[in-house]
Amino acid sequence: AHTCEIVSVLANPLDFTYFSGANDGSIKIWTQDLECIATLKGHKQAVSCLVLDGYFLFSGSEDGRIVMWDTSSRQQLRVLEKH
């Protein structure tokens, strides 16, 4: 579970998982039974928004970055820095 405030949530209708973004910059992946199955780390500040496009998750953060994730491999694919 998160150890700080959750600020964003998203449901994945493709595989019935859920994503939650927290103030510590982490994203958790949850099963339908609300069991945490993975933690994604790619932000330094709060994850304020989550958007899903097929099997790609995009996370936006207070650190000014957008991270693109592959939800199948749970790997970071791309980082867009603020400019």
Res 1 pLDDT > 80: no
Hey, what long-range contacts does 18-21 have (CB within 8 A, 24 or more apart)? Answer: 19/50, 19/52, 19/57, 21/46, 21/47, 21/48, 21/49, 21/50, 21/59, 21/61
Both ends of the chain: CA-CA distance in Å? 33
pTM over 0.85: yes
pLDDT at 83 (0 to 100): 58
Quick check: 53 and 59 in contact, CB under 8 A?
Answer: no
Which residue shows structure tokens 């970055």? 65
**H-helix or E-strand containing 68?**
strand 66-70
